[in-house]
Structure 1
Amino acid sequence: MSIRHGLLALLERGPRYGSQLRTEFESRTGSTWPLNVGQVYTTLSRLERDGLVAQDGEDDQGHALYSITDGGRTELRSWFETPVDRSNPPRDELAIKLAMAVGAPGVDIRAVIQSQRHHTVKAMQDYTRLKAQALADVPANRDEVAWLLVLEQLIFQAEAEARWLDHCESRLVRLAEAAATDPEPEVRTANRAPARTARPRTRR
């Protein structure tokens, strides 16, 4: 998710100041993408430079407010309408770890898989409990719907990862069984006598 577009989406709901944007951003994403105030104000400065937001006075407490511009709305609409590019997926540490574990001396790759599966299943259970709480809170707080969507995405990701880990372990078992049942290739010895060739008979 682009931080700049996330801030534009919040500003389309009305003027906001920096720490307010940070709080709302983390609330809607369930703190899965934590921000600090410095990041928010740096991003706001760039958005202002690009003509996508503008300063809009101060609130009663003296906080500098920012509003989205027409250019910002156009940018936001384009972001919502453009599919997320999956042709260059981010590096996945787990996939790299398992790839490096294959054949690594002293590494039990199945133990690595089982340890990760335990962690993934626990995370999935935690997300499921949070989802139940979010569902209970939705009637009183419609903003909980945003957090609910994020939670469900995390649950689906964890489920997919657990299935993939099961697949990896099954694949390794099948390969190990196949290697154990394959006959050893015949080894030709260097001192084996060469085959004799028949000499043609000559007529006398």
Structure 2
Amino acid sequence: MSIRHSLLALLHDQSMYGYQLRAEFEERTGSTWPLNIGQVYTTLDRLERDGLAVKDGDDGDGHVIYRITPSGKEVVSQWFAAPVVAANPPRNELAIKLALALTLDYLDVEVIVQAQRTASMLTLQTYNRQRRSAVQSDSNQAQDIAWILVLDSLIFAAEAEIRWLDHCEGWLKKKRFRAVSTPVSKTSVASFKDTQEVQP
């Protein structure tokens, strides 16, 4: 997640101080990805250093207001215009856990998969309830619509995770996999990558 670009986008909307930026970000994204206030101010310092934002006085209560610069506006425009490309996929704790479990002879990988499926199903149900509630409000406010789209993203991700877990379990049964206590080899890593290819 690009905190830098997110804060610039909010500053493009209006000048704000750090706590306002954090509150606006969390409100507009349904508090799905909470920001640490220290991270917000560190990012603001870097934006100022790079000439993308400047201090613009205070609000009278000691809060320093930040304003976006023309260069900052250009960076935001480029960010929104460019697609998000996952050149280096973020670490997936679940995939890492299963990859390691496959190489350890004291673990039952199927038990791990089943436990995760149960947890993922509960998460999916929670997101679906939240979405039903949001849709029932029948609001046309931009922030409410944005929250529904964020929930849709979370729902699709949870559904994909469950589908991948089903695939992993089926693949392991098909291969009649038995964990062995040997070091991870290129072959075993490649084999595990095959389990991540979700079948259509």
Q: Give the alignment's TM-score, normalised by structure 1.
A: 0.80
Per the alignment, residue 197 of structure 2 pairs with none
The one-letter amino acid of 1:142's match is A
The one-letter amino acid of 2:136's match is A
Q: Which runs of 5+ in 1 are unaligned?
A: 178-204
Point out the structure with max Rg over C-alpha. 1
* 1:18 counterpart = 2:18: yes
Task: Give me the whole-angstrom Cα distance separating, in 1, the residues matched to 2:123 and 2:170.
Answer: 22
Look up the SS of the partner of 1:66 in the other structure: strand
Task: Give me the whole-angstrom Cα distance separating, in 2, the residues matched to 1:35 and 1:70.
Answer: 25
Per the alignment, residue 101 of structure 1 pairs with 101
* 1:114 counterpart = 2:103: no
Conserved? CA contact 2:8–2:76, under 8 Å: yes
Conserved? CA contact 1:117–1:165, under 8 Å: yes
Per the alignment, residue 175 of structure 1 pairs with 175
Per the alignment, residue 85 of structure 2 pairs with 85
Task: Give me the whole-angstrom Cα distance separating, in 1, the residues matched to 2:34 and 2:18.
Answer: 14
* 1:70 counterpart = 2:58: no
CA displacement, residues 112-161 of structure 1 (integer Å, 9 cap, x when unaligned): 10000000011011111111222234516431222222111111000000
Task: Give me the whole-angstrom Cα distance separating, in 2, the residues matched to 1:6 and 1:34.
Answer: 13
| Larger RCO, structures 1/2 (Cα 8 Å, 6+ apart) | 2
* 1:125 counterpart = 2:100: no
Task: Give me the whole-angstrom Cα distance separating, in 2, the residues matched to 1:82 and 1:142.
Answer: 22
Report deviation, 1:60.
4.8
Number of residue-to-residue matches in the alignment: 177
Q: Percent identity?
A: 53
Conserved? CA contact 2:139–2:145, under 8 Å: no
Per the alignment, residue 163 of structure 1 pairs with 163
Report deviation, 1:87.
3.0
Q: Give the alignment's TM-score, normalised by structure 2.
A: 0.82
Conserved? CA contact 1:138–1:144, under 8 Å: no
The one-letter amino acid of 1:170's match is G
Question: After the TM superposition, which segments of 4 or more aligned residues of structure 1 sit over 3 Å from their partners?
Answer: none
